[in-house]
């Protein structure tokens, strides 16, 4: 593989280091490139680790290509009107369509190889040195796991490359997994139970490494149908749960609290890709409204264009579609975010096949929206007006027959219920509605429930187009239970699987607005038995818990369910998906075309 020269500046250290440590290290002279001697000091080791953490946001988490790569073309996501990615349908998919993250991960891997190869003798207490190197082992394992899940056989390098080369080979999947497991076993032995200086926030800890190890065993178990791997996955996750107090982990009582910005670094969060408005740590230009680079745009991908499609006299045509008419009841603002319209929930009603008449999100995944609070915790159902508006009785297409004023902060401009409403879009039954009502029968690539989980209220009103400075949460504690449940299912221990799932489901039954009696009734309604546990039930449960959290494509590939579930539920991709799509194509221009010495690097079959 051709390795681009890696440039690491000491300012990158602040990604992972405390304020005092940053001030000290920022006094160092920046390195124009990474050489072995750079890793012979504590500052160099920390610099390499910080550089790898930086690559979790540069071209990966929070960026459009990577987000699309992990959710598009699945059973629970469809393309929004603003997306043209072939990943949504698999139609004509080519080598560079799924290249997001490849170069970033390999750049990080090479830097981490330098840390691990040359940092073993840095002048620090033994336990401290081991904990630093454990961070590097965790990150290298993380990068390789992301690569091997998507591409299969990939180049495997564990030594620091200082001279660019144009020769490379792909290692067998088994070898890649063996290295990942080795790294994670060693990392989990030496990482602390909780985050300690100089690392802050949600850098890797013992439980993070253990959870990733459990997920790796689960994934390898599916590949080879290896019961010992499933047992390892279950035992590791069960151990994390048993010792959750030691690790400072727990579930929030209310599902929605897991996505409260105040809890981004709280007890349920295990690992994140950090983001910040401070330009020292990236390219963030306050007020610059960047749409690319190492910034977090995750909240905007799942947003429908609420300012454009909130015209108050919108009406339903004879063909049953919405036609925009009148003044808008909304303007773009901070609470509702920037609409990129890239991705939408799969709420299309199927017209053929065994699921004909059903919508996956409403009629399968989130079918119990009364007892289960996760639909309301995931999607917006109402947009409150944020601009003054008077609608005249005689305005074109105003069928309400009244003149009225929309009161900002009080009146609802858009109501998107999860059930049909007679009289929509201007009436609820016979009652005139000031805004517009958009029930499921009117949802499409332009009109759809937006995801509320990731919204960022911290941005200044004047900078409402800016990216988010919230972290992208990669792992939540809830997934420890879900991974254990899946492993138990594969071990045919359906009782243990149901017990793990019930922890998640019973938490989802809680609503702050309910009485204790109502919450108790919801818990009863949400509790399952071993007889309910099937693979499809687990996959539906993962949609309910993790919708839009950059996991779905990997979930379906891991469980060998991608083709089957897409053909069953996704009307966009079903005609095009083939068995070979369970692997992404090796990036053509950034990998295959650069291997010009020695044996040519093969592309994955089908591409």
CA dihedral (176, 181, 183, 187) in degrees, to 10, reads 160
User: Which has the closest alpha carbon to 373: 272, 507, 192?
Assistant: 507
Strand, coil or helix: what is 137?
helix
Average pLDDT, the chain: 92
* Contact assessment for residue 144 and residue 176, using Cβ atoms and an 8 Å cutoff: yes
**Gap between the Cα atoms of 438 and 450, Å rounded:** 13
Tally of residues, the chain: 607
Give the Cα separation of 445 and 448 in Å (integer).
7
- pLDDT tens per residue across span 4-14: 322 333 223 33
Dist CA 360 CA 253 (whole Å): 27
Give the pLDDT confidence of 431-487 residue by residue, as tens digits: 999 999 999 999 999 999 999 999 999 888 888 889 999 999 999 999 999 999 999
**Interhelix angle for 478-490 vs 535-546, to 10°?**
170
Query: d(Cα 356, Cα 265) in Å, to the nearest integer?
Result: 42
Q: How far is residue 367's CA from residue 572's CA, in Å, rounded to a whole number?
A: 22
Q: Which two tokens stand for residue 223?
A: 């590949």
- Whether pLDDT at 210 is above 50: yes
Q: Classify residue 579 as exposed, middle or buried by CB count within 10 Å of its CB (0-12, 13-18, 19+).
A: exposed
- Is residue 477 within 8 Å of residue 267, measured between CB atoms? yes
* Euclidean distance between CA atoms 569 and 356, whole angstroms: 9
Crossing angle of helices 478-490 and 227-242, rounded to 10°: 150
Strand partners, 472: 273
Express each pLDDT in 547-557 by its tens digit: 999 999 999 99
Output the pLDDT for position 18.
Answer: 32
Q: Are 270 and 249 in contact (CB under 8 A)?
A: yes
- Kindly indicate the confidence band of residue 294, based on its pLDDT and cuts at 50, 70 and 90: confident
What pTM value is reported for the model? 0.93
* Backbone φ/ψ region at 598: left (φ over 0), alpha (ψ -120 to 50), beta: left
Q: Give the pLDDT mean for 22-42.
A: 57
Q: Give the N- to C-terminal CA distance of the chain in Å, as an integer.
A: 20
SS3 327: coil
pLDDT digits (tens, 9 = 90+) for 557-607: 999 999 999 999 999 999 999 999 999 999 999 999 999 999 999 999 999
Count other Cβ atoms within 10 Å, centred on residue 373. 23
Say what the alpha-carbon torsion angle 416, 420, 425, 429 is, to the nearest 10 degrees.
-120
Tell me 360's DSSP state. I
Question: Average pLDDT in the 109-138 region?
Answer: 96
Are 534 and 492 within 8 A, CB to CB? Answer: no
């Amino acid at each position: 593989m051709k390795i681009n020269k890696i440039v690491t500046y000491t300012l990158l250290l602040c990604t992972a280091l405390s304020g005092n440590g940053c001030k000290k290290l920022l006094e160092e002279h920046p390195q124009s490139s990474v050489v072995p001697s750079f890793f012979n000091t504590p500052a160099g080791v920390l610099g390499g680790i910080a550089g790898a953490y930086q690559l979790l946001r540069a071209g990966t988490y929070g960026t459009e290509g990577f987000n699309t790569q992990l959710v598009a073309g699945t059973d629970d996501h469809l393309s929004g009107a603003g997306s043209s990615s072939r990943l949504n349908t698999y139609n004509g998919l080519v080598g560079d369509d799924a290249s997001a993250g490849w170069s970033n991960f390999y750049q990080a891997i090479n830097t981490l190889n330098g840390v691990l190869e040359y940092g073993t003798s840095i002048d620090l207490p033994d336990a401290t040195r081991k904990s630093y190197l454990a961070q590097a082992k965790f990150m290298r394992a993380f990068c390789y796991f992301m690569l091997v899940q998507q591409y299969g056989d990939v180049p495997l390098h564990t030594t620091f490359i200082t001279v660019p080369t144009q020769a490379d080979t792909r290692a067998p999947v088994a070898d890649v997994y063996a290295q990942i497991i080795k790294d994670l076993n060693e990392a989990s032995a030496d990482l602390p139970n909780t985050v300690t200086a100089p690392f802050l926030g949600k850098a890797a800890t013992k439980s993070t490494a253990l959870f990733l190890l459990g997920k790796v065993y689960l994934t390898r178990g599916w590949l080879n149908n290896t019961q010992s791997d499933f047992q390892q996955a279950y035992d590791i996750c069960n151990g994390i749960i048993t010792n959750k107090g030691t690790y400072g982990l727990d579930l929030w009582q209310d599902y929605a609290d897991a996505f409260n910005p105040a809890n981004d670094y709280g007890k349920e969060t295990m690992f994140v890709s950090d983001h910040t408005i401070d330009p020292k740590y990236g390219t963030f230009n306050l007020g610059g409204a960047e749409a690319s680079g190492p910034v977090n745009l995750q909240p905007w991908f799942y947003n429908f264009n609420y300012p454009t499609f909130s015209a108050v006299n919108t009406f339903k045509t004879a063909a049953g579609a919405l036609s925009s008419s009148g003044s808008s009841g909304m303007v773009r603002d901070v609470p509702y975010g920037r609409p990129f319209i890239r991705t939408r929930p799969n709420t299309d009603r199927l017209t053929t096949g065994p699921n004909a008449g059903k919508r996956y999100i409403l009629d399968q995944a989130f079918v119990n929206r009364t007892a289960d609070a996760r639909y309301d915790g995931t999607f917006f159902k109402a947009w409150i007006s944020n601009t003054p508006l008077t609608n005249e009785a005689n305005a074109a297409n105003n069928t309400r027959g009244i003149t009225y004023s929309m009161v900002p902060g009080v009146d609802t401009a858009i109501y998107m219920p999860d059930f049909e409403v007679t009289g929509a879009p201007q009436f609820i039954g016979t009652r005139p509605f000031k805004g517009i009502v958009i029930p499921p029968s009117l949802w499409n690539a332009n009109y759809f429930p937006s995801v509320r989980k990731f919204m960022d209220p911290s941005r200044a009103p004047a900078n409402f187009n800016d990216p988010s400075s919230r972290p992208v949460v990669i792992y939540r504690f809830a997934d420890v239970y879900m991974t254990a449940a899946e492993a138990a299912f594969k071990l045919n221990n359906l009782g243990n699987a149901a017990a793990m799932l019930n922890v998640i489901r019973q938490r989802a039954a809680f609503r702050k607005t309910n009485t204790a009696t109502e919450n108790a009734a919801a818990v009863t309604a949400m509790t399952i038995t071993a007889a309910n546990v099937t693979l499809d039930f687990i996959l539906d449960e993962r949609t309910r818990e993790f919708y839009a959290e950059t996991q779905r494509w990997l979930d379906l590939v891991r469980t060998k369910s991608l083709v089957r579930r897409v053909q069953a539920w996704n009307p966009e991709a079903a005609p095009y998906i083939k068995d070979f799509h369970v692997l992404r194509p090796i990036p053509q221009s950034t990998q295959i075309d650069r291997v010009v010495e020695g044996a040519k690097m093969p592309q994955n079959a089908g591409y």
